[in-house]
Amino acid sequence: MRILCVGRCHDHRDRRLLIENVIIADAQTACEMTNGSLANPSLVKKRFRGASNDTRSLKKGNAFFCLAGGNTDGHEFAETARDLGAGAIFADKNRAARWKHWTIPVISVDDPLTALGDLACEYRKFFATRYVAVTGSVGKTTTKELIAGALSAKYRVYKSPGNFNNLIGIPLALLARPLPRSDKCDLAVLEFGMSTTGEIKRLVEIVEPSWGVVTRIGAAHLMQMKTMAAIAKAKRELFDFSKPGVTAFLNLDDPHQRQWLARWRRPTVTYGLESERQPDYTADEITVDARGVSFRVNRRHEFRLRLSGDYNVPNALAAIAVARHLGVPLTVIADRLRRVKPEGDRSRIIRKSGVTLIADCYNANPTSMRAAIEALLKHPKAGRRIAVLGAMRELGPESDKLHREIGQIASGLDMVVTVGNDALAYHASISNQHAEWISATARVNAIDLLKRTLRTGDVTLVKGSHSEHLEEVVHELEKSLAADSR
């Protein structure tokens, strides 16, 4: 395991040794970095290694941050963390005072989440790494992977793991730095997610990115944000709170981003599919087949992705724009993008026993769901086009209406299987149906149905919000089809 270094360095040699040996700060230094105080001052020179907010993954010597969650409070697990060998505990002032007799440093802070961000911010300053931040409502993780893949042709690149994209995940990603030599990382590509106003502003404070990329903005987190305008404004925090010299990479297919471009003076590179808007990077001759998607950039350069759906072309254009801006030749970018594999169950193509599964079930909102179904409608097939749909979450009062709109689009398919009672909203007010509609009350019912009915030539999309756990459907079908092919 790589452990982090945030200790104070007294000279250049100390700084180099701290980075290369990855030594952690003592409790006093950590207090200074997080504006905290030590509940047990006699332990001022004790050190900790690494950071965690989860006792299930805590390693011996880690600092444990007592973070409050929707259903849990990390303070309730502080004693467990101590018994598992935590190197320090970061807790709010009221709780920390109760643990002053513990034999590991207990660092008292106003807010453990703020302290985690502050510690990551200070740690980041030890390195010359520059950061690319990616935000938007759809395709953030895929775009992050594509950008990192393209840049790796010329630079030593770090990318945030999985979906480490919020006020907890980004600091943990920065503190992890799982590279053989973190001080030799030139660029890092980080995904910036948000569910409320102010989160991206805080991430900008922690990371101080040099480049900002925005994918398409859509109707995600409407329960919290209420309106599309509020969502767009929250995404724009990436630039509103960055330095003027930070370069923006904007999608001109998005009306919100077009408005931003008309109102600011900031270095900007544009991309998009609507060529009449004359983006710097555009694509045509887009072709989807069982292996992925191919397209031509700026009417000249051929590209291919191992990803499903033409909706991934703008994600690739964003990666191309960033990589070219940073000096990577187009031919090299094309080669690197061709190698990028889907992250988790995002646009992953599975072909077994003559059946094509498109696993795109990490998350869903109306924008991404519409794009995935429209791509399925264009997908070449010898059999049927089938969608397995779970509910879309966090849509607030508009939820039923937005589900009905997606249902109307899905009616052009051959079969739609909805999973769970909340997904019944897709069925409502469907007229002039082409699709055969089937409701499965639970994932196990959908799995059994599909095992019986899938046949050679079928193309099946599986998509829903993360809370619907449709990856279980994908994995069971994948195993079943693999067994059939033997």
Which domains are delineated in the chain?
Answer: 12-116 (3.40.1390.10), 127-339 (3.40.1190.10), 348-484 (3.90.190.20)
Number of Cβ atoms within 10 Å of the Cβ of 180: 8
Residues 6+ apart with CB under 8 A from 401: none
pLDDT band at 73 (very low <50, low <70, confident <90, very high): very high
Largest CA distance in the chain: 76
Q: Alpha-carbon torsion 478, 480, 483, 484, what sign? A: negative
For residue range 331-358, what is the model confidence (pLDDT) as tens digits? 999 999 999 987 777 888 899 999 999 9
The amino acid that residue 5 corresponds to is C
Q: Which residue is it, tokens 């404004």?
A: 233
Which pTM does this prediction carry?
A: 0.86
Res 12: pLDDT: 36
Helix (H, G, I), strand (E, B) or coil at 350: strand
Dist. CA 225–CA 64, nearest whole Å = 31
Sheet holding 157-159: strands in order across? 157-159, 187-191, 130-135, 211-214, 247-251, 268-271
Q: Is the pLDDT of residue 190 over 50?
A: yes
For residue range 263-290, what is the model confidence (pLDDT) as tens digits? 888 999 999 998 777 999 999 999 988 7
